[in-house]
Chain A
Amino acid sequence: MNRSGNSFTENQSSNLAVNECVRYILCQEGSKIPIKHCDIRKHLEDNFGAPRNLIKNIITNANNILKNVYGYKLVQVDAKQSQYIVVLNKPCTKSMLSTYNNPQHRKLLIAALTHIYMTGAPVKEDDMWKFLTEAQLMKEFDVEKKKLLIKTFTRQMYLKYIKGRNDTFFFEWGQRAEEEIPKIFLLSKMSEAFNVGPDYWAEQYIQATSNENNGNDEDDE
């Protein structure tokens, strides 16, 4: 890829910028840390001389490529700071875990998210540790694992760690979890585990099916 695109026509150089944007996003998304709009802009400006007013267009075009070529899509997560995460455009339930993922971490995350969802309310920090310890996914005073939930998963937007009354902290689903995991999917895992129908948990079922409807509406657009 020739980066000194001075002699190129405008079309070609903007194509290059879009491709570079796609490449940048793909490289950044692996960490699951949201990509900042200003970082994309900086990268394109510095390496491509892409004018500031075209950045939005470039990102939109890049999103199209992500959708059509990779089956990914960009989701804006923070209205103010403009951050993006990359999720799949259409659900795919049978994919294997990437070798990049740590299985222990994934188990912790799934347990935490399921516990929060099934509880139906934000979960107190201590309750979460007790639950995870009971499930033998961590030892009771394991600082590393606690940091994993409080810092890493929060940064990746899988969880939210928020302060409640009396200085107690609660765990909630983060925006990435909301985007990546349909509630009905988790509920069907639960029903498979306990050999009952998903409507056994009435409240959660209602929540899951109403969410599903919202999801379908988006697809129809």
Chain B
Amino acid sequence: MASIRASTSTQRDSQSSSFTYESRDRVMLMKNLINETNNIENKTSNPMEMLEMTKEIVREANILFSNGSIEERVLHPAENFLDSQLLRASSDVIVRCSQAISSNVNKYDKFELADHIRRNEDFWEFSFPLEAPAVAFLYGTFAPTPLPPRAPRAGARRAAQRPPPAARAPKKPANVATQEESTEVAEILHRSLKKICKDGPCSYFHVVLDPTSFSRSVENIYHLSFLARDGRVSVYLDEASGVPYIDMVSHHKRRRAENSSEKQFIVSLDMERWRDLVEAFNINEPMFRKF
């Protein structure tokens, strides 16, 4: 036995050996390896060490296995049987190893985390400690690069001249119906305004705002804008109070003002602002009942 052992130690160092065991010897060595395997767990409880030992044993077994020729294998099935036994023993060790390791089990529960994220979205929104903040500028650069040149100038000029006449023609029939409508309503509005503003200019918001209906208020603004566009009423900001006022414009003034430059007066109104204005101006009932 000892002599065989001695030779195995030299065997270990060189993968390719000229020395060939006899089947009998191999059987003996295999049995030893199997015993060693079964003893691993007695020698250590550290899973990493167990793995190392198993690795060693398997490596030796492989060397042993490659030592015999195929014909011998066929003649001596005991070797094959032992080989598979060794395989079984070593894999048992490994399984127990991995079970031991996984008792340091990952306590992370992805469903728990997903649940927490779902319920506390804002908690999981933050900047990273070493993240360079992306800089956003409120205004652009002082020296912007020039815009890429537009399509050829001559073509642009021609194109600018062409659309207006073309655009006007189709627009006319489409707008005729609505124009008539709005003119009608505007007329009614105009007549009512004449009565209301007989004694002088009235507050714009008092005229247009309908505390009962947001959409009505918008319509009033819309109709009034037509009157203003046609120059039949004038809308201006009172310098003292900063409040917009409406005043009627006589035919006289209209003709004079016809050629004056366009001025714009923009009213933006959403539901919140409408409510605020109604409250601020203390408007309790609409000026116009029905159209």
Interface positions of A (Cβ within 8 A of B) = 26, 29-30, 32, 72, 86-88, 91-93, 95-101, 103, 106-107, 110-111, 114-115, 118-120, 131, 134-137, 179-182, 185, 189-190, 193-194, 200-204
Expressed in whole angstroms, the Cα–Cα distance for A211 and B109 within the complex equals 23
B75 contacts partner chain A, Cβ-Cβ < 8 Å: no
**Given A110-B125, A194-B116, A98:B133 Cβ within 8 A:** yes
Known: A88-B130, A136-B118. 16 other contacts (CB 8 A): A91-B130, A97-B126, A100-B136, A101-B134, A106-B126, A119-B106, A120-B106, A120-B108, A135-B114, A135-B115, A179-B130, A180-B130, A181-B130, A189-B126, A194-B112, A201-B107
Q: Is the CB of A131 within 8 A of B136?
A: no
B-side residues, CB < 8 A to A, are 104, 106-108, 110-118, 120-121, 123-136
Question: Is the pair A135, B132 in contact by a Cβ cutoff of 8 Å?
Answer: no
Complex contacts, A137 vs chain B, CB 8 Å: 117
Please report whether the interface of chain B is mostly helix, strand, loop or mixed according to DSSP: loop
- A182 to B110, alpha carbons, bound, how many Å? 21
In the complex, 21 of the A-B residue pairs with CB atoms within 8 angstroms, ordered by the A residue number, are: A30-B134, A88-B130, A88-B131, A91-B130, A93-B129, A98-B134, A98-B136, A107-B121, A107-B125, A110-B124, A111-B113, A114-B113, A131-B110, A131-B113, A134-B114, A135-B115, A180-B129, A189-B126, A193-B123, A200-B107, A201-B107
Cross-chain contact A118 with B108 (CB below 8 angstroms): yes
| Residues of chain B with a CB closer than 8 A to A86's CB | 132
8 Å CB contact of A134 from B106, B118, B120, B125? B118
| Contact status of A201 and B108, CB under 8 A, knowing A98-B133, A110-B124, A179-B130 | yes
Residues on the A chain within 8 Å of B107, using CB? 200-202
The residue on A at minimum CB distance from B143 is: A1
Least Cβ–Cβ distance between B30 and chain A, in angstroms: 34
Chain B residues contacting A136 (CB-CB under 8 Å) are: 117-118
Q: How far is the CB of A116 from chain B (nearest CB, A)?
A: 11
- Tell me the bound Cα distance from A75 to B288 in angstroms: 70
B108, B110, B126, B130 — most chain A CB neighbours (10 Å): B130
Chain B residue at minimum C-beta to C-beta distance from A178? B130
Q: A88-B129, A100-B135 are in contact. Are A203 and B106 (CB under 8 A)?
A: yes
**Assembly CA distance A26 to B133 (angstroms):** 11
A134 to B124, Cβ gap below 8 A? Answer: no
Cα A203 to Cα B136 with chains together (Å): 39
Contact, CB under 8 Å: A106 / B125: yes
Interface contact B113-A118, CB-CB below 8 Å: yes
Contact A180 B124 (CB under 8 A): no
* C-alpha spacing A135/B117, complex, angstroms: 6
The residues of B that contact A185 with a CB separation of less than 8 Å are 128-129
* Interchain CA distance A154-B150 in the complex, whole Å: 36
Q: What CA separation (Å) do A92 and B129 show in the bound complex? A: 5
Which A residues are in CB contact (< 8 Å) with B114?
131, 134-135
- The answer to whether A115 and B124 touch (CB under 8 A), given A95-B133, A181-B129, A204-B108, is no
Which residues of chain A are near B135, meaning CB under 8 Å? 26, 30, 98, 100
* Cα–Cα distance between A50 and B51 once the two chains are bound (Å): 59
One of A72, A101, A193 near B116 (C-beta < 8 A): A193
A114 to B117, CA, bound (A): 11
Q: Is the CB of A87 within 8 A of B108?
A: no
CB contacts (< 8 Å) of A114 on chain B: these are 113, 124
In the complex, what residues of B have CB within 8 A of residue A193's CB? 113, 116, 120, 123
The residues of A that contact B127 with a CB separation of less than 8 Å are 95-98, 101
In the bound assembly, the distance between CA atoms of A92 and B133 in angstroms comes to: 11
Smallest Cβ distance from B10 to chain A, in angstroms?
A: 41
**Is A115 a contact of B131 with CB atoms below 8 Å?**
no
Measured between beta carbons, the chain B residues less than 8 angstroms from A194 are 112, 116
Question: Which residue of chain B has its CB nearest to the CB of A70?
Answer: B132
* A185 to B, closest residue via Cβ: B129
Chain A residues whose CB sits within 8 angstroms of the CB of B118 once the complex forms: 134-136
CA distance A216 to B111 in the complex (A): 34
A200 to B105, CA, bound (A): 11
